[in-house]
Amino acid sequence: MPPIIEVAIPVPLMRTFDYLCNQKVAAGVRVKVPFGTKKVIGIVINNKTKSAFKKLKSVDEILDKSPILDKSMLDFLFWAAKYYHHPIGEVLHSALPKNLRLGKQAIIKKTVSLPDKISQPDFKINPEQADAIKQISSKQGAYHGFLLHGVTGSGKTEVYLQITQKMLKKGKQVLVLVPEIGLTPQMISRFESRLKTKIVTIHSQRNETQKLDAYLLAKNGAAGVVLGTRSAIFAPMPNLGMIIIDEEHDGSFKQQSSFRYSARDLSFIRARQANVPLILGTATPSLETLKNVLDGKISRLKLTQRASGVSLPKISLIDMKTNVSGLLSAELIAKIRQYLDQSKQVMLFINRRGYAPIYFCKECGYKAMCGHCDSTMIYHQSINRLKCHHCGAEKMPPATCPDCTQSSLEALGYGTQRLEETLNSHFANTPIIRIDRDTTRQKKAFAQHLEQINKGEACIIIGTQMLAKGHDFANLAMVGILDTDAGLLSLDFRATERLAQLLIQVSGRAGRNTKQGEVVIQTRFCEHPIFNFVLSNRYTQFANNLLKQRMSSALPPFSHQALLCANSKNKQNAQDFLDEACALLKNITVETVEIWGPVASVIEKKSDYYYFNLYLQSGNRSALHQLLSTFGQHIESLKLKNKVRWYLDIDPIE
């Protein structure tokens, strides 16, 4: 029998495939193999002498001389595939840059140059920063998890830079993960100007050639620092010395399609396997991380003061119950004027883009709905179109009501565009910079907006989620938060945790450098307990209260969840598939796992597909995973399996 190789192929099947090959091939090497009627790129995971299958096809081509995935990466990825119950072929593929997935050669086109000169900070680190650096340094070469819990502007990034410097001196590489919207040009240049090493960045704005180069420079050890968004957790780094996760509470570390992993959670495994320290930095730790601190699994390092010496902003509420005049209260308008008169910048936070979220008929109450989704269409005035923010469908707004034929249609509610229009009417001579997905679609647009803000001239900045984190605007004196109430009314058990994080992060943009800033929150629920804590910047106390509630209701992080989602154009099929799955799950006798559902998703129909969920929960993580792996072995028996699209989401956050 000629040698046989076992190959992982990117197909949604929980198995690998055997091929004949005239030579032994190292694990981690890419091969081109016939699969059905196609040729596909697979990754060798093993050499064998026997196969359980009779008629084996032969490998077409061996693509690499040496493994593209080394032993440690393979171990890491196998762990991830097992934990997320995801097919190994798809997991290995999603860890590779696209050009390697397509079978292109692993060759560096353009290497990154070393900086000519690096700058030194013009300040001395404070005692808390020094202590954090000392404690982290003492754990070099061993796994240890740290929460770097520092208020906004407390100099966490400075700690990252100094500790990274120490690692580089020892010839180590450092992996830094930041949220999607946190990897700004400002952040990248801060690293580049301070560290004498090659820094590669991995994020969505890079083209495929740049992504491949970054990957290979990490892999050959030339890059001292890899700075990237969630997928950078898969960057190969032979001399890995430390992992940093900045803004660890951020939802964007979770991949929400195909292979659904959490880069934050995987960073624990990677750090453990590589025997290196892990630093999770944030001003607003997730409840998962706080629980890890309480359980003694990671140590907390605190930075309690803003590095600039300026106090945290003064936060106050404006009661909107009595304010019926629209989105902006008279009080807030007066405050904005006061700061603009002092040549300061003001930021207004509203988490909805477009002009108005509802286009409706005053006579009969008709609302313009998307024909493909259970969702209203958002009015975009600049192009005079109704758009669906779920599926992207667009249409002209009707001139008369389709239901009652009256011409009494109007836009209701506020989005960023309408806020801009309203502000223009109040502050005609002030530049207004709107930053949302519509104004930053072009590649350089976001950077250009930031540049304009950084010039420091008085202006009003309108921002969505995109501006909540990480930005440091020197002349920004006041932040107004306009629409928080949806977060208070949501049924999602994580909604208040998220809202508290968002309020503190957004507030943290104000008055960072020279003078105490001010934050004003408009709400109709002034008496809600969340504000007690937010107003006095006591996030930790608030989070501890939430933890107690989660414990008493046995919700994560005190239990573990998984979600089986099915969707189909045929609503009945989606439901029936989950009923079948539910019966199968209930047949597998594992105690301590609760199963609920199937129930429709919050938005039941999206892009013509009906979404239903089955929830699994257990206080015992391994019981849950045992159940899921047995389920995985029997999934082929489900009759509707090929009639619906379905996926499993482990530790879901939505």
Q: Write out the residues near ligand ADP by the rule CB under 6 A.
A: 123, 125-126, 129, 150, 152-158, 307-308, 472
> Smallest distance, Å, CB 479 to ligand ADP?
15
Q: Which is nearer to Zn ion, 227 or 388 (CB)?
A: 388
> Smallest distance, Å, CB 159 to ligand ADP?
7
Residues that bind Zn ion (rule: CB under 5 A) add up to a total of: 7
Backbone φ and ψ of 613, nearest 5°? -130, 150
Answer whether 471's CB lies under 8 Å from 186's CB.
yes
> Smallest distance, Å, CB 176 to ligand ADP?
12
Helices 127-137 and 156-169 pack at an angle, to 10 degrees, of 40
Work out what residue 537 binds among Zn ion, ligand ADP, none; the CB cut-off runs from 5 to 8 Å by kind.
Answer: none
Work out what residue 370 binds among Zn ion, ligand ADP, none; the CB cut-off runs from 5 to 8 Å by kind.
Answer: Zn ion
Q: Which is nearer to ligand ADP, 335 or 512 (CB)?
A: 512
What single string gives the DSSP state of each residue in 471-503?
---TTEEEEEE---HHHHH---TTHHHHHHHHH
53: buried, middle or exposed (CB in 10 Å: 19+, 13-18, 0-12)? Answer: exposed
Work out what residue 129 binds among ligand ADP, Zn ion, none; the CB cut-off runs from 5 to 8 Å by kind.
Answer: ligand ADP
Work out what residue 28 binds among ligand ADP, Zn ion, none; the CB cut-off runs from 5 to 8 Å by kind.
Answer: none
Q: Which is nearer to Zn ion, 159 or 378 (CB)?
A: 378
> Smallest distance, Å, CB 231 to ligand ADP?
23
> Smallest distance, Å, CB 325 to ligand ADP?
36
Q: Which is nearer to Zn ion, 104 or 372 (CB)?
A: 372
Work out what residue 155 binds among ligand ADP, Zn ion, none; the CB cut-off runs from 5 to 8 Å by kind.
Answer: ligand ADP
> Smallest distance, Å, CB 498 to ligand ADP?
19
Q: Which is nearer to Zn ion, 391 or 588 (CB)?
A: 391
Side-chain half-sphere CA neighbours of 263 within 13 A: 31
Q: Give residues with Cβ within 8 angstroms of 646, minimum separation 6.
A: 564, 565, 566, 567, 577
Mask 205-244, x = binds Zn ion (CB under 5 A)?
Answer: ----------------------------------------
- Measured between alpha carbons, how far apart are the two ends of the chain, in Å? 51
Ramachandran area for residue 36 (φ above 0: left; ψ -120 to 50: alpha; else beta): left
Q: Give residues with Cβ within 8 angstroms of 375, minimum separation 6.
A: 369, 388, 389, 390, 603, 606
Site for Zn ion in 364-383 (CB under 5 A): 370, 372-373
Q: Which is nearer to ligand ADP, 472 or 497 (CB)?
A: 472
> Smallest distance, Å, CB 645 to Zn ion?
17
Vertex 246, ends 240 and 249: CA angle to 5°? 125
Residue with tokens 């005190």: 558
CA 49 – CA 30 distance, rounded (Å): 20
Q: Which is nearer to ligand ADP, 49 or 304 (CB)?
A: 304
Work out what residue 437 binds among Zn ion, ligand ADP, none; the CB cut-off runs from 5 to 8 Å by kind.
Answer: none
Q: Which residues pair with 560 in a beta bridge?
A: 618
Work out what residue 523 binds among ligand ADP, Zn ion, none; the CB cut-off runs from 5 to 8 Å by kind.
Answer: none
Work out what residue 388 binds among Zn ion, ligand ADP, none; the CB cut-off runs from 5 to 8 Å by kind.
Answer: Zn ion
> Smallest distance, Å, CB 306 to ligand ADP?
7
Answer whether 288's CB lies under 8 Å from 248's CB.
no
C-alpha 21 chain-centroid distance: 41
> Smallest distance, Å, CB 125 to ligand ADP?
5
Vertex 464, ends 460 and 465: CA angle to 5°? 135
Answer whether 161's CB lies under 8 Å from 194's CB.
yes
The two tokens of residue 567 are: 């969707």
Kindly report whether the peptide bond that precedes residue 557 is cis, defined as omega within 30 degrees of 0: yes
Q: Which is nearer to ligand ADP, 413 or 517 (CB)?
A: 517
> Smallest distance, Å, CB 285 to ligand ADP?
13
Q: Which is nearer to Zn ion, 125 or 393 (CB)?
A: 393
Site for Zn ion in 312-371 (CB under 5 A): 370
Q: Does 391 bind Zn ion (CB under 5 A)?
A: yes
> Smallest distance, Å, CB 377 to Zn ion?
8
Kindly report whether the peptide bond that precedes residue 185 is cis, defined as omega within 30 degrees of 0: no
Residues in the chain: 654
Work out what residue 643 binds among ligand ADP, Zn ion, none; the CB cut-off runs from 5 to 8 Å by kind.
Answer: none
Work out what residue 463 binds among Zn ion, ligand ADP, none; the CB cut-off runs from 5 to 8 Å by kind.
Answer: none
Using CA atoms, how far residue 215 sits from 109, 290, 406, in Å, is: 12, 33, 60
Q: Which amino acid makes up residue 375?
A: S
Work out what residue 158 binds among ligand ADP, Zn ion, none; the CB cut-off runs from 5 to 8 Å by kind.
Answer: ligand ADP
Work out what residue 154 binds among ligand ADP, Zn ion, none; the CB cut-off runs from 5 to 8 Å by kind.
Answer: ligand ADP
Mask 392-411, x = binds Zn ion (CB under 5 A)?
Answer: -x------------------
Q: Which is nearer to ligand ADP, 191 or 609 (CB)?
A: 191
Backbone φ and ψ of 611, nearest 5°? -110, 125
Q: Give residues with Cβ within 8 angstroms of 579, minimum separation 6.
A: 598
Work out what residue 545 binds among Zn ion, ligand ADP, none; the CB cut-off runs from 5 to 8 Å by kind.
Answer: none
Work out what residue 74 binds among ligand ADP, Zn ion, none; the CB cut-off runs from 5 to 8 Å by kind.
Answer: none
Q: Which is nearer to Zn ion, 45 or 388 (CB)?
A: 388
Q: Which is nearer to ligand ADP, 308 or 454 (CB)?
A: 308
Q: Which is nearer to ligand ADP, 148 or 315 (CB)?
A: 148
Q: Which amino acid makes up residue 588?
A: I
Answer whether 631's CB lies under 8 Å from 588's CB.
yes
Ramachandran area for residue 309 (φ above 0: left; ψ -120 to 50: alpha; else beta): left
> Smallest distance, Å, CB 246 to ligand ADP?
8
Q: Which is nearer to Zn ion, 394 or 594 (CB)?
A: 394
Using CA atoms, how far residue 422 sits from 334, 425, 462, in Å, is: 14, 5, 12
> Smallest distance, Å, CB 440 to Zn ion?
22
309: buried, middle or exposed (CB in 10 Å: 19+, 13-18, 0-12)? Answer: exposed
Binding residue (CB under 5 A) for Zn ion from 367, 390, 524, 571: 390
> Smallest distance, Å, CB 39 to ligand ADP?
48
3-class DSSP assignment, residue 285: coil
Catalog residues that contact Zn ion under the rule CB under 5 A.
370, 372-373, 388, 390-391, 393
